[in-house]
Amino acid sequence: MRVVPFFICAVITIALIVLFNIQLPVGSSKTPRLGFFLSPQTGFWQNAEDVSKRYDANIQSAGLRGYTEVYLDSNLIPHIYADNDADAYFAQGYLHAKFRLWQMEFQTYAAGGRLSEIMGDSASGKNFLAIDKFFRRMGMVYAAENSLKVIESDPSYKAALDAYTAGVNSYINSLSEKNYPLEYKLLNYAPEPWTNMKTALFLKFMAYDLAGYEQDFEMTNARNYFTQLQFNKLFPYGQDSLEPIIPKGTAFAPPAITPKPPADADSLYFHFNDSVGVPLKPIVPNKNNGSNNWAVAGSKTASGSPILCNDPHLGLNLPSLWFEVQISTPEYNVYGVSFPGSPSVIIGFNDSCAWGVTNASRDVKDYYEVHFKDSTMREYWYNGKWQPTTFRKEVIKIKGKPDAIENIAMTVWGPVMYDHSYGDKMHDNKYYAIKWSAHAGSNEGKTFMLLDRAKNYNDYVNAISFFQTPGQNFAFASKKGNIAISQQGAFPAKWKRQGQFIMEGNNDEYAWQGTVPRNENVIMLNPARGFVSSANQYPYDTSYPYYMGGSYEMYRGFILNRRLRAMQNITVDDMMHLQNYNYNVFAEMARPVLLKNMDETKLNSIEKKYFDIYKSWNLSSDADAPGASIFVTWWDSLMQCMYRDEFSRTTLPMPNVEHSTLLEGLLKDTAYEFADDITTPQKETVSDEVMKAFKKIMPVIQHAEEKDSLAWGKFKDGGVKHLLGIPALSDLHINAGGGVHILNAFYKDHGPSWRMIVELTDETNAYGIYPGGQSGNPGSPYYDNMVDDWATGKYRRLQILPKNHFSTQNTKGKITFTHS
């Protein structure tokens, strides 16, 4: 009779083994392999790390030539001391992989259109196959391949990247399943070898994230819907309040290229009534991707030495975008933040100088309508004859399903991103090719390799010359007393509004007419005013001879310059305060308009209560400020009241009107054209719309107060999200100030991803912080240990330390790298 219970137990055991080694469906997603995931030997338990854990190791590799020591300080920041540059990059690659492997690889899966391979075609409400098709058809892999050719033709940078890749793979090869980062276990896949191509893909992804926001299709519809006069009012080129990076009135030399539009350009742009379907955009860069940077001369500082500051505004993720590091070799000492997935320090300082970057925001991505001979797309009409098409085959692997094949037509403009096979928004007979400056081969990594070694202004100028896309504003300061800023990139030489709309692709009349010569990307060196600055505003005023299409922020640059002009005897503490400055100069400019157009006698007691809160607000968007919540909600409501009637008369997708457009329109014109609601028989005034907008927000404001969330920090509800969006792995509901148009640009899950201040005294006096931690492991105490300090505006000291500074007592571990 013992056979029966034995048999039952065996069946149950086998069933459990099978059950716990399959993925069970949960909604549109699946669980991980539960047996593997829950196993004490291999599962997520292995990812738990005690605060007392040490990270000592001895790494041997045939790829190493000398001896490298790495000391991990109390915040898990590695200080690398290498006998030569190649070994330093090997160590950096190894450390990036050790602490951020899943993040590195996941980002390149996204860039390379491979998310379906690990996520399936869709899960948790996300269409990963659509994202993959989007990036493949955009030409992301094509662009990375072109850049890899350039990278690998440069012996010095190729050697650096080869060493970095070898370091990443050294760590990957040391892993067993139990040591996989948590997310591999959650998603049930394994890391694959790193390649130089993956680094190229990551850099192209950054090019997309920083310069990929556009509304060309929507703008084309707006152009065909509004009159030319209306269009220019709604979507102006430049603003009256503009404070460009290079000050107004700067005299520009005669341009080397004079962009000339075709004779029929105006006719095409404003008398062409063909609307366009707006194709699916499954992933869109945040239009507020940007940054602040500035440098003040010693003439304005208490120490007599320059101070450089930088805070790049990007998506706030866990693991963090940045990884802090010091690299020391016989050639150079550098400290700052790096990108996991790429060698070098990206933003930082060395023994001689410091640098920081902000987004140029220029439009370097345009669309051309291509006319094919037939649906096979084998020939297209260009310059008076049928041209043969080449095709690029992109194979998208899908987890658990057959591959998806994309046969992408390649034209003189670039890939045909949108055709009849793409989504359900396209007209069957429409084909749109994308021309993107990032498709050209380039070697942006060389810029940072050289900046890490820069000793003076000339080295800075040489280093940034390699940077092509995405365009960036490079601020610079040195211990020799120089400060400078330059907008650097490969910018198309365009006529006014070229590329703001879909362009005709039948001939070369609408082609880019070359690239703006590098010497016409103006460098501002040691200006008399004593500072240089940028905050994603226009680089020049509109007298600049080339069209500066793009998406710009006006108000951070305005308040930054106003504050810097007024400051003297500046200290590091002053700069910390300025980076965390919550004053809303946009609200300052808007307040007179709002107050002038409000009749308080028409408010009931509840409305009057909230109006009084707004009136008494000090215009600082601090966490405890209910006035900030009322203002932001009110202005958004006013935008709707002003423009919804005009835009609602069409079902065509339309572009967004900027906050600055409404404000400047109201400041210039008390009878603002768009105040009238064209859906009603009476003629509304600005005062009518301001009052209506205020009354409409009352339910939202009252509800927020009832929920104790009217104070701005709770109302905007910012946070730092895990890359997979998993709440348990995120830091949500961070109660802090800041916002859009504010120097402290923290809003929702976007904002200052790294704050750095460097005073270039004899002994460099530097500070920094980012909203995350060095480890990408959610089970580590160093996963998000800096978030709270970041949220409250605190900083840590950043130091280029000598090797003898470290001991067992002040480190979390020592890792040595030697030749095997």
Query: Tens of pLDDT along 116-135?
Result: 999 999 887 889 999 999 99
Digit-coded pLDDT (tens) for 296-342? 999 999 999 999 999 999 999 999 999 999 999 999 999 999 999 99
Pairing mode, if any, of strands 323-328 and 78-82? parallel
Give the rounded percent of residues in the chain with a pLDDT score beyond 70.
92
- From the list 173, 178, 177, the residue with the least C-alpha distance to 190 is 177
Burial status of residue 253 (CB atoms within 10 A of its CB: 0-12, 13-18, 19 or more): exposed
Of 61, 147, 291, 637, the catalytic one is 291
Q: How far is CA 541 from CA 245, 246, 659, in A?
A: 9, 8, 20
Q: How far is CA 221 from CA 259, 491, 611, 706, 819, in A?
A: 25, 25, 38, 42, 62
Digit-coded pLDDT (tens) for 543-555? 999 999 999 999 9
Decide if pLDDT at 272 tops 80. Answer: no
3-state helix, strand, coil in the chain (%, to 5): 35, 20, 45
Among the residue ranges 242-246, 451-455, 609-613, the one predicted with the least confidence is 242-246
The pLDDT mean for the chain works out to 92
3-state class (DSSP) for residue 94: helix
Model pLDDT, residue 84: 98
Taking a C-beta distance cutoff of 8 angstroms, is the pair 341, 199 a contact?
A: yes
Taking a C-beta distance cutoff of 8 angstroms, is the pair 233, 480 a contact?
A: no
Digit-coded pLDDT (tens) for 18-49? 444 555 444 444 545 555 445 544 545 456 78
Binding site as annotated, residues: 218, 363, 366
Pairing mode, if any, of strands 122-123 and 126-127? antiparallel
3-state class (DSSP) for residue 623: coil
Burial status of residue 117 (CB atoms within 10 A of its CB: 0-12, 13-18, 19 or more): middle
**Given pLDDT bands bounded at 50, 70 and 90, which one contains residue 240?**
confident
Model pLDDT, residue 36: 44
Phi/psi at 131 (nearest 5 deg)?
A: -65, -45
Model pLDDT, residue 49: 87
Pairing mode, if any, of strands 718-722 and 731-734? antiparallel
Model pLDDT, residue 443: 97
Binding site as annotated, residues for Ca(2+): 218, 363, 366
Active site residue 116: no
Give exposure, 204-232, as e/b (b: 16+ Cβ within 10 Å). Answer: bbbbbbbbbbbbbbbbbbbbbbbeeeebe
Decide if pLDDT at 88 tops 90. Answer: yes
Cα separation, 819 vs 63, whole angstroms: 7
- The count of C-alpha atoms lying within 13 angstroms of the C-alpha of 190, restricted to the half-sphere facing its C-beta, is 11
Digit-coded pLDDT (tens) for 685-720? 999 999 999 999 999 999 999 999 999 999 999 999
Model pLDDT, residue 18: 47
Decide if pLDDT at 290 tops 90. Answer: no
Model pLDDT, residue 17: 47
β-pair partners for 367? 434
Q: Taking every pair of C-alpha atoms in the chain, what is the biggest distance, in angstroms?
A: 101
Digit-coded pLDDT (tens) for 131-189? 999 999 999 999 999 999 999 999 999 999 999 999 999 999 999 999 999 999 999 99
